[in-house]
Structure 1
Amino acid sequence: MSNTNPNSQETPENEQGVEQGSENLETVSQEELDAATADAIAEAQETQAPQEDVLSVEEQQAAEIADLKEKLLRAMAETENMRRRSQKDKEDALNYGVTKFARDMLTISDNLRRAIDAVSEEDRENETVKTLLTGVEMTESELLSTFSKHKIQLIEAEGKKFDPNLHQAMFEIENPDVEPGTVLQVVQPGYVIADRLLRPALVGVSKGGQKKEEAHVDQKV
């Protein structure tokens, strides 16, 4: 009988089993390592996700603030424009609201002036006519004062340079002593209300210009 223990000897089958066991250990270790790495990466991503969300919310809030600021500025600008328009409409109503009425009243002023001008110097010596004329002149003066309160002013035309914005030429007057385009006669006075023309002045304008120079004939032969 042999003293050799068959269990104590390493057979090829045992060696193959050991090698397979080692390979299995190595395989399990690599899988565990990969799993651990994947868990670490996932944890890191979960940790970074809230920060990314916070940045996104901050950017969204900044965009909303900018949008609200722009809307506020537009609303303020529109409000200011409306205030200015309302103020201008109010001023126009105060200045020009009586334009039509004032234009009609100018006819009364014209008639009062015609009545005063129609009285001759001889008739002015008559006490009755003189008293009546004084009343008419006072009425005219009061009317012009009322015009002035409502910013209605007489256009000073005679002797002024013709202005198409204020004057309306009715005829021309030959006068070489004055500059052409000078108002020499006022047929009907004109008026302005505030800074607008209420009625143009009807005027006669000079033409011709400077005097003609005398012709000199050279008599030298």
Structure 2
Amino acid sequence: MSETAKNTPEDLQDVNAAEETASEDVAAEATGAESEEVVIEDPIAALQAEVAELKDRLLRQAAEVENTRRRAKKDVEDAGNYAITKFARDLLDVGDNLRRALDAAGDTSQADPAMKTLFEGVEMTEQALQKALEKNGIEKLEPLGEKLDPNHHQAVFELPHPEYPDGHVAQVMQAGYVLKGRLLRPAMVGVTKNPAGSNPSKDDTPGGNVDTSA
């Protein structure tokens, strides 16, 4: 008998098992190849995501640096513009005293020459002080007749006034000042509060619109 005829069923089962094992090995190798391809693609995607994240982080840090630079520049400008704030407030007191002296002197037309000379000297000193303040960006506020502005005016009392509607400045007790747009001292004012029925219209106030159509 030939060797093929001598194969038993058990031998055939071993052969079949060997073939199945070989097939499984081939399938495993194919699957492994696919896995290797996936492993190769994943690092690229991860690197792209990392690059995008780093780019976003870099842009954010650049924006923060720019904001910091702008804030520092503004701080330097403010320090230069408003460094004289305290000194300027002290000078305002000097100006107030000069104005009080001039107001107290009243009419000096009949005064003796020495008094007139003193009055003129005080007046010239006040004018020189005002020019020095203006030269350094300090503007005087005299809001007579204007509508009350809480940002620049401090109302200290109310009074009736036939020429101004309610809520307007009818008297300036103390002039206000601003330093390059920033309030240095509010103007102390009296505000109109007219009795009911006697409030003039806005067009009747000084500087108001006048109807010329008639």
TM (norm. structure 1) is: 0.72
Q: Which amino acid aligns with 1:45?
A: T
SS in 2 for 1:154: strand
The C-alpha deviation readout for 1:6-60, integer Å capped at 9, x for no partner, is xxxxxxxx69x86432657745643453343234224323433331111111122
Q: Does 1:34 align with 2:34?
A: no
Aligned residues of 1:192 and 1:198 also touching (Cα < 8 A): yes
Q: Report deviation, 1:180.
A: 2.2
User: 1:176 maps to what in 2?
Assistant: 162
Alignment equivalent of 1:80, drawn from 66, 81, 104: 66
Return the alpha-carbon distance in structure 2 between the equivalents of residues 87 and 71 of structure 1. Answer: 24
Which sections of structure 1, spanning at least 5 residues, go unmatched?
Answer: 1-13, 213-221
Return the alpha-carbon distance in structure 2 between the equivalents of residues 181 and 60 of structure 1. Answer: 68
Q: Decide whether aligned partners of structure 1 residues 153 and 21 sit closer, same or farther in structure 2, where only a CA change above 3 A counts.
A: same
Return the alpha-carbon distance in structure 2 between the equivalents of residues 47 and 178 of structure 1. Answer: 94
Identity %: 42
Q: Report deviation, 1:128.
A: 4.3
User: 2:208 maps to what in 1?
Assistant: none
Q: Report deviation, 1:132.
A: 4.1
Q: Does 1:185 align with 2:171?
A: yes
Within a 5 Å distance, the mapping from 1:65-104 to structure 2 comes to: 65-104=51-90
Q: Which amino acid aligns with 1:165?
A: N
Q: Decide whether aligned partners of structure 1 residues 36 and 166 sit closer, same or farther in structure 2, where only a CA change above 3 A counts.
A: same
Return the alpha-carbon distance in structure 1 between the equivalents of residues 5 and 18 of structure 2. Answer: 20
Q: Decide whether aligned partners of structure 1 residues 30 and 126 sit closer, same or farther in structure 2, where only a CA change above 3 A counts.
A: same
User: 1:217 maps to what in 2?
Assistant: none
Which sections of structure 2, spanning at least 5 residues, go unmatched?
Answer: 200-214
User: 2:107 maps to what in 1?
Assistant: 121
User: 2:207 maps to what in 1?
Assistant: none
User: 1:208 maps to what in 2?
Assistant: 194
Q: Report deviation, 1:86.
A: 1.7
User: 1:155 maps to what in 2?
Assistant: 141
TM (norm. structure 2) is: 0.74
The C-alpha deviation readout for 1:55-101, integer Å capped at 9, x for no partner, is 11112212211221232132123223322322332233233332222
Aligned residues of 1:177 and 1:211 also touching (Cα < 8 A): no
Return the alpha-carbon distance in structure 2 between the equivalents of residues 67 and 211 of structure 1. Answer: 71
Aligned length in residues: 198
